[in-house]
């Protein structure tokens, strides 16, 4: 387990450009063990690209990225990844336990764990995300929320120190959004994980998020939700009027150039 507060992810003066377009630049961000950082911003602001940089799939244009103090070259087993929700079809002959097993040793050739021990590890992972009951059902027969729990178990299988979640709440109803957020919270506490969580709607996360990284038009702000999710801060970030409305414990962001349609009051993608 990581030492408390250890820096698990460090971006220093990081920039990413595609052609003439700068997604973000001069980004400094340290994520510590046990910390949940939400990545917010409108469509195309570079949230998924940031995760790809950390996964070693896309190279920074400038600056550096380190996971557990090491440069990211071609990925790391210490990084768990929950991809965007894509529903499995009924025809896919893969059970939940097979998916989780792939997370355990799918990247290795040859003899893995003895089958009894492997089964126990997979069962423990499934139990940790409360999905033991669905372990032997085909993925395509599981609900969106149940499939997402399987993906979470798969992401945790490599015993990561950093968990990257790319919009895992998309197309989930409120109850399942809550389940996924609780799982993230449980996992970061039990495993002392640093978490980077891309989402269009920060509301389901408000109870567990420590800081937010808000991307807009090539610029960004980092801070606690109270520091960043404010009308004056977002108006300055977007360079056009933005209002953050708080109602019944929820935040709604209204306005802001490329944020058109980006409304934290929506449940999921606008
Ligand atoms: N390999 C690439 N080459 C060129 N452009 C790219 C590449 N990857 C991403 N882009 C562009 O970079 C921009 C940011 O993409 P990204 O997927 O990171 O955005 P996002 O913030 O996750 O958006 P969304 O909320 O819509 O998922 C998009 O305009 C996309 O077309």
Instruction: Examine the pLDDT at 104 and tell me if it is beyond 90.
Output: no
Both ends of the chain: CA-CA distance in Å?
38
85 touches 144 (CB < 8 A): yes
* Higher-scoring residue by pLDDT: 86, 126: 126
* Structure token pair of residue 108: 């290795």
Q: State mean pLDDT over 60-89.
A: 85
Average of pLDDT values for 26-42?
95
Res. 180: pLDDT tops 70: yes
Q: What distance in angstroms lies between residue 1's CA and the mean position of ligand 1's atoms?
A: 34
pLDDT (0 to 100) of residue 197: 95
Question: What does the pLDDT average to over 110-123?
Answer: 75
Q: List pLDDT tens digits, range 184-230.
A: 999 899 989 999 999 988 999 999 999 999 999 889 999 999 999 99
Q: How far, in Å, are 114, 132, 203 from residue 2 at the CA level?
A: 27, 27, 29
Dig out the tokens for 38 from the structure.
């939400």
Q: Which of 26-30, 94-98, 126-130, 217-221 has maximum average pLDDT?
A: 26-30
Pocket of ligand 1 (CB under 6 A): 18, 23, 41, 43-49
pTM (predicted TM-score): 0.87
- Report the percentage of the chain scoring pLDDT > 90: 45
Q: Which two tokens stand for residue 55?
A: 């996964």
Across residues 1-19, what is the average pLDDT? Answer: 85
pLDDT value, residue 46: 93
Indicate the DSSP class of residue 171.
T
- What pLDDT does residue 168 have? 87
Query: Which pLDDT band, with edges at 50, 70 and 90, does 110 fall under?
Result: low
Locus of tokens 């423990």 = 124
Residue minimizing CA distance to atom 6 of ligand 1: 18
ipTM of the modeled complex: 0.96
Rg over alpha carbons for the chain, rounded to the nearest Å, is: 19
Residue 66 structure tokens: 């380190």
**Can you tell me the distance from the alpha carbon of 26 to that of 235, in angstroms, rounded to the nearest whole number?**
20
**Atom nearest to 49 CA in ligand 1:** 18
Tell me how far the alpha carbon of residue 218 lies from the centroid of ligand 1, in angstroms: 12
pLDDT at position 257 over 60: no
| CA–centroid distance, residue 265 to ligand 1 (Å) | 23
Mean pLDDT of the chain: 85
pLDDT in the model for residue 227 = 95
User: Using CA atoms, how far apart are residues 237 and 53, in angstroms rounded to an integer?
Assistant: 23
Residues 168, 156: Cα–Cα separation, whole Å? 14
Residues 103 and 153 sit within 8 Å (Cβ to Cβ): yes
Residue owning the nearest CA to atom 7 of ligand 1: 18
Confidence of residue 265 (pLDDT cuts 50, 70, 90): very low
Of the candidates 39, 7, 45, the one whose C-alpha atom is nearest the C-alpha of residue 199 is 39
pLDDT, greater one: 138 or 255: 138
Question: Separation of 25 CA from ligand 1 center, angstroms?
Answer: 15
CA angle 51, 99, 163 (to 5 degrees): 30
Residue nearest atom 24 in ligand 1 by C-alpha distance: 43
Is beta strand 79-82 parallel, antiparallel or unpaired with respect to 242-247? unpaired
- The domains of the chain, with CATH numbers, are 7-78+160-255 (3.40.50.300), 93-159 (no CATH)
Q: Which of 62-66, 103-107, 157-161 has the lowest mean pLDDT?
A: 103-107
CA 227 vs CA 15, 142, 253: distances in Å: 23, 39, 14
Q: How far apart (Å, rounded) are the C-alpha atoms in residues 120 and 116?
A: 6
Rounded distance between C-alpha atoms, residue 238 and residue 220, angstroms: 9
C-alpha of residue 47 to centroid of ligand 1, in Å? 8
- Mean pLDDT, range 30-50, rounded to an integer: 94
């Amino acid at each position: 387990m990581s030492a408390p507060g250890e820096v698990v992810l460090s971006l220093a003066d990081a920039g990413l450009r595609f052609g003439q377009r700068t997604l973000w630049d001069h980004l400094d961000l340290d994520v510590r063990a046990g910390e949940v950082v939400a990545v917010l911003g409108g469509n195309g602001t570079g949230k998924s690209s940031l995760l790809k940089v950390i996964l070693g799939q896309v190279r920074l244009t400038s600056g550096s990225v380190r996971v557990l103090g090491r440069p990211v070259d071609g990925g790391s087993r210490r990084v768990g990844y929950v991809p965007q929700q894509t529903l499995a079809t009924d025809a896919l002959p893969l059970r939940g336990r097979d998916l989780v097993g792939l997370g355990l040793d799918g990247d290795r050739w040859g003899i893995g764990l003895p089958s009894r021990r492997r089964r126990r590890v997979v069962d423990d992972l499934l139990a940790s995300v409360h999905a033991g009951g669905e372990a032997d059902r085909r993925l395509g027969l599981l609900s969106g929320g149940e499939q997402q729990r399987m993906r979470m178990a798969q992401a945790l299988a490599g015993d990561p120190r950093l968990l990257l979640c790319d919009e895992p709440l998309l197309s989930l109803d409120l109850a399942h959004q809550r389940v996924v957020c609780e799982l993230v919270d449980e996992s970061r506490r039990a495993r002392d994980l640093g978490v980077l969580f891309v989402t269009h709607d920060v509301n389901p996360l408000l109870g567990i998020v420590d800081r937010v990284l808000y991307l807009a038009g090539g610029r960004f702000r980092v801070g606690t939700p109270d520091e960043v999710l404010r009308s004056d801060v977002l108006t300055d970030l977007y360079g056009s009027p933005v209002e953050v409305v708080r109602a019944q414990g929820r935040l709604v962001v209204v306005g802001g150039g490329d944020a058109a349609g980006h409304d934290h009051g929506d449940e999921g993608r606008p």
